[in-house]
Structure 1
Amino acid sequence: MVEVEEEETPSLRKYKSCRVHEHMQDHCLQKGEEYFFKILDNRNSHSVSLTPTLRMALHLDKEADRSYIDQLRNEKVDQLSSLILLSPQDLQRCLPSGMVWPIQLMYLSFKGCILGALPSSIGSLSFLENLDLRVSSQIIIPNVLRKLGKLVYLYLLLEFKMPNNDKLYLKSLKEIGILENFDPGQCNVADLFEMMSLRYLSTTVEGIMEDLEQIIYGMDMTSENASVLYSSIRIKNFDCYTEKRHSVFRKLLECKILRTLHMDGHLGQIPVYYNITRSLTKIVLIGSELKEEHMATLDKLPKLQVLVLQDNAFVGEKMICVKSGFKELKQLELLTLRFLETWEVEEGSMPVLSILAVKNCEFYRMN
């Protein structure tokens, strides 16, 4: 009855999603809407009323649908604990000014919506545990998240703005366990030190060495205070042409909690494998310009499951994968490697590989 999809590169979670078998879906939706949740969209706008329920999803794809938002202030929905807002249009036009949210809300998602600014009234949701702000447009976030003391899951947007160029204050969120898209340019890294329950952190650094140094320091400090924590980091436009910048990158590779790394920028070299954390499961390198001998480092990382080399991340003419290498690698992508001519894979190398992509390698010829 239930089909389970596993994560390609397990970090915090082993499973990506669960879904009901298609033959049971209609039956489960019917029973669920009777006792468990409601889905409101233009398909059932005339047949479904906002009778008491604990969980609700609103599909807002026309102006008339804002009547549902207005009804959120009705006493019939005061007991709501979960609300998902889905809108392909500007949701800002549908949200009343000074909107009073159902006070019992524990889960609130704007994922995929077009939302210009987060309503400051969100700060009144003192029971909120899960907040998803991954909207499909840049958003202005007022500094009210500090009031959400019970927040456990916070999903920020990759790019957002703060009023008056302030930094987003998160220090008071002591219960945070999952924090995604933390940006040291918009948030205070020192706030991480107060999150004693943090188990997973994902962050993006935009080419600024001082920001990366702060994140590395925060990761090291947090790993000493938290019992279980994994980290994912995306680094953009960070060329390491100087020893100082390269030393910062080497320090990052030593972080014990680092699980996935997305690096965009010149490296030229990487340290030997025993100076790299053994926890890495996924590496994406873009423009790194590594040479042939560096494959002997990558193939020794014991938990590596996904490796993507893109835009001359590898500049050797010949790539060799030895028989004892890449024991856990499941996915390999070689994309736009202009210098690659031959690729030799010894028998026994990559024994569990299931996904392979070789694209735009103009001089490569398969033997």
Structure 2
Amino acid sequence: MRFLDEERSWNLLRDKVFEQQSCPAEFERIGRKIAKSCGGLPLAIAVAAGILTNCNRTQHHWLKIARNITLAVATNDDQISKILTLSYDHLPWQLKACFLYMGGFPEDYNIPVSKLTKLWVAEGFLEPNGPKSLEELAEEYLEDLIKRNLVLIIRKRSNGKIRFCGLHDLLRDLCIQKARMKEFFHVTNNSARDIQNQRRLSIHFDISDGLLDKCACASPIRSMLVFRSSVASLSFLRGFRLLRVLDLLRTVLLFMPPEITQLFFLRFLALTGRLKVPPSISKLQNLQTLMIRMYRWETGDSILFLPIEIWEMRQLRHLIVFEGSMLPTPLAAAPSGRRVLENLQTLFVDNFKFTSNAIEMMPNLKKLKVYYCDVFTAVWAKYCLSNLVHLCLLETLSLMFRPVGLEVNPFPANFALPSTLQKLTLTDCALPWQDMAVIHSLPNLEVLKLRDDAFMGEKWECSEGEFPRLKFLLMELLNLKCWQVESSHFPRLERLIIKRCWRLDEIPCEIGDIPTLELIEVPIGLGRKSAADSAVLIQEEQRSLGNDLLQVRIHSK
């Protein structure tokens, strides 16, 4: 580990706490003392800064924290451990549970934030707060832990939200230590004694099913996260009747064990395998999240046919089948005054028909991803996609079609999308560029991804009033040759990513005049003239005008 001298230690602490602001003189003396107590360890300094950032900014509170850190490191040679413990002790009780839970993931594991927040909700760690959804509250909790420098950002999404997060090894060790002391969760090591009387299990190693069978009788276990690749049997589940969380996403199952549908208290269920979901899945009336990844065998059918009884699961918030699924359309509208899946926020399925009845059944849907594998151009009408406009809370939409060759597949007449959309991904839709008029005026759209002939044609001519809030634009594998655009068409664009658009001659120089633009990313050109060359020219012109913020990245893909 690289140590910092006193001056660099103070600079790091100051920058973490005050960011772009100057440090008041009355805090500098105390801050330097705290930085010195951290012994030049960057992680300890960052965590100490997290404590200071979240306390009242008064000399009294800073002096109190300085005394606590000084006392902690004075009583033990392990300075960093004491400082990390002190930071944990300063957490509100809700954040303590969320932070400890992350220690159940394997070392150096990239934790998917979308999954982590669903687990926190299922575990009941969150305190409802007014109109905010539990998922929104979970994201705020995570951001709080990040601001305290207890959680690392691994990768962000195109909209700036966090996609993967993780823990420093020392902070993960702290989580495991505290969790063991509080009997909060346990990482298994193939010992029955260690498993008994635990509330949460995180299984990272091979553990015999017989051992779990012995522990299953009247087991208090509420949660089981499994990170090994296979299991011989899940018969032990018969004894784990109180399970709330069962995560088997990294475990390949040959079939869906019938014991699962007997777990009445289950809130989170994640499975991988060539599975058949029985109608009895509707017995899980407390289930909030159902995630299924179909395992593709060399032969045989790999389509998951979901039962129509799914529509009876009133608590379901997230139905995610990663690929190869068929969800039947509800046969009739919901009874008057009752919306069956009114809690449903996320839906990932294939070939789904958005009838008026279906739309009525899920009025609060926020995230939708659908793949259509029909090879013809009437997909929009056959699957009632014109009804999508009635999903009044939809924020994220991804539509993927099976390639139809060179045939253009226009929107139906009077087609519209929900004005609430913030992120839109289109793949293989084969739309004509004239149909961009449906998209460009969406008032809240911030992210647009066009992939694999999402639009067909050599020329995209933009017009006034387009994309008022768009921040991120991806164009990938389009046959676009000429792009006519003015800076006013994308007034808030921050990132322009172009991948494998080999026919695109150049990026219009007007793109460089967008005041918010931070990044242009383009592939290496294959011909004499390329988009990469024009991107370099745009950067050079902007630098000559005093704009040093614009970055250009040229990649080989």
- Structure 1 pair 30–327 and aligned structure 2 pair: CA distance change class (3 A): farther
Name the structure 2 match of 1:202. Answer: 347
**1:83 to 1:270, Cα distance in 2 relative to 1, 3 A:** same
Kindly indicate whether the alpha-carbon contact (under 8 Å) linking 2:275 and 2:294 is maintained by their aligned counterparts in 1.
no
Number of aligned residue pairs: 340
Select which of 291, 300, 307 maps to 1:155: 291
Residue type of the alignment partner of 1:25 = R
State the 1:322 CA deviation. Answer: 5.0
- Mapped contact 2:378–2:409 kept (Cα < 8 A): no
Decide whether the 8 Å contact of 1:284 with 1:309 is kept in 2. Answer: yes
Deviation at 1:300, TM superposition (A): 1.3
Q: Are 1:38 and 2:175 matched, yes or no?
A: no
1:140 partnered with 2:299: no
Range 280-289 or range 348-357, more displaced: 348-357
Structure 2 residue matching 1:144: 3-state secondary structure: helix
1:290 matches 2:428: no
The percentage of counterpart residues that share the same residue type is 21
Larger mean Cα displacement after TM superposition, 187-196 or 281-290? 187-196
Question: How does 1:234-273 map onto structure 2 within 5 Å?
Answer: 234-238=370-374, 241-242=377-378, 245=381, 248-259=384-395, 260-265=397-402, 268-270=409-411
Q: Which protein is richer in helix relative to its size?
A: 2
Deviation at 1:326, TM superposition (A): 2.2
Matched position secondary structure for 2:285: coil
TM-score normalised over the length of structure 1? 0.76
SS, match of residue 290 in structure 2: strand
Q: CA deviation at 1:238?
A: 3.9
Q: What code does the residue aligned with 1:176 have? A: L
1:356 equivalent among 489, 496, 514: 496
Would the alpha carbon gap of residues 239 and 120 (structure 1) be closer, same or farther in structure 2, given more than 3 Å must change? same
Match of 2:202 among 57, 60, 76: 57
User: CA shift at 1:121, angstroms?
Assistant: 1.3
Report if the CA contact (8 A) 2:192-2:212 is conserved: no
> Is the CA contact 2:217–2:239 (under 8 Å) kept in the aligned structure 1?
no
8 A contact 1:285–1:310 mirrored in 2:
yes
Q: SS at the partner of 1:111?
A: strand
The root-mean-square deviation of aligned C-alpha atoms, in Å, is: 3.7
1:232 matches 2:371: no
Counterpart selection for 1:26 from 157, 163, 173: 173
Give the deviation of 1:128 after TM superposition.
Answer: 1.6
What are the within-5 Å matches in structure 2 for residues 1-367 of structure 1? 2-3=145-146, 8=158, 19-20=166-167, 23-35=170-182, 36-40=184-188, 44-45=189-190, 49-60=194-205, 62=206, 65-75=208-218, 78-89=219-230, 91=231, 93-96=232-235, 99-133=237-271, 135=272, 137-157=273-293, 167=307, 169-181=309-321, 185-187=326-328, 189-190=330-331, 193=334, 195-206=340-351, 211-212=352-353, 215-223=354-362, 226=363, 228-238=364-374, 241-242=377-378, 245=381, 248-259=384-395, 260-265=397-402, 268-270=409-411, 275-322=416-463, 324-338=465-479, 340-365=480-505, 366=531, 367=534
Give, in whole Å, the separation in 1 of the partners of 2:392 and 2:375: 23
SS at match of 1:121: helix
SS in 2 for 1:304: coil
Question: How far does residue 123 in structure 1 lie from its aligned partner after superposition?
Answer: 2.3
Q: Which secondary structure state, in structure 2, belongs to the residue aligned with residue 49 of structure 1?
A: helix
1:175: how far off? 2.4
- For 2:429 and 2:400, locate their aligned partners in 1 and report how far apart those are by CA, in whole Å: 8
Return 323-332 or 109-118, whichever deviates more: 323-332
- Distance in 1 of aligned mates of 2:252 and 2:379: 43
Cα deviation for residue 71 of structure 1 reads 3.8
Whole-Å Cα distance in 1 between the matches of residues 378 and 278 of structure 2?
A: 39
> Secondary structure of the equivalent of 2:431?
coil
Letter in 1 for 2:252: I
Q: Does the 8 A contact of 2:222 with 2:244 survive in 1?
A: yes
**Mind listing any 5+ residue stretches in structure 1 that lack a counterpart?**
none
Q: Check whether the contact 2:195–2:201 (CA below 8 A) recurs between aligned residues.
A: no
Q: 1:264, CA displacement in angstroms? A: 0.9
Secondary structure, in 3 states, of the residue corresponding to 1:312?
coil
Distance apart, 1:262 and its partner CA: 1.4
Which structure is richer in relative contact order (CA contacts within 8 A, separation 6 or more)?
1
Distance verdict in 2 for CA 1:132–1:297, change over 3 Å: same
* 2-structure distance, mates of 1:263, 1:326: 22
Q: In structure 1, the residue corresponding to 2:249 is in which secondary structure?
A: coil
Would you say the 8 A contact 1:319–1:343 is kept in 2? yes
Amino acid at match of 1:32: A
Q: 1:347 to 1:356 in 2, by over 3 A?
A: closer
Change (3 A) 1:192 1:109: farther
Further displaced range: 188-197 or 51-60: 188-197
1:278 to partner: Cα distance: 0.6
Larger deviation, residues 317-326 vs 280-289 = 317-326
Query: What is the SS of the residue equivalent to 1:131?
Result: strand
8 Å CA contact retained: 2:313, 2:341: no
Q: State the shift of 1:351 in Å.
A: 4.4
Structure 2 Cα separation of the partners of residues 45 and 354 of structure 1: 51
The 1-side partners of 2:174 and 2:383 are apart by 58
Please give the secondary structure, in 1, of the residue aligned with 2:450: strand
- Whole-angstrom CA distance in 1 between matches of 2:424 and 2:181: 45
The DSSP-based 3-state class of the residue aligned with 2:251 is coil
Relative to structure 2, which stretch is displaced further, 180-189 or 124-133? 180-189
Q: Could you give the per-residue CA deviations for residues 219-259 of structure 1, whole angstroms, max 9, x where no partner exists?
A: 42125xx5x43241313224563498379333334543444
Q: CA deviation at 1:115?
A: 0.6
- 1:152 CA drift (Å): 2.4
CA–CA separation in structure 2 for the residues paired with 1:34 and 1:330: 46
Give the drift of 1:16: 5.3
Task: Answer 1 or 2: which has greater strand percent.
Answer: 1
In 2, Cα distance between equivalents of 1:22 and 1:289: 47
Gap change, CA 1:354 and 1:300, over 3 Å in 2: same
Residue of structure 1 in register with 2:519 after alignment? none
The letter for the 1-side match of 2:172 is Q
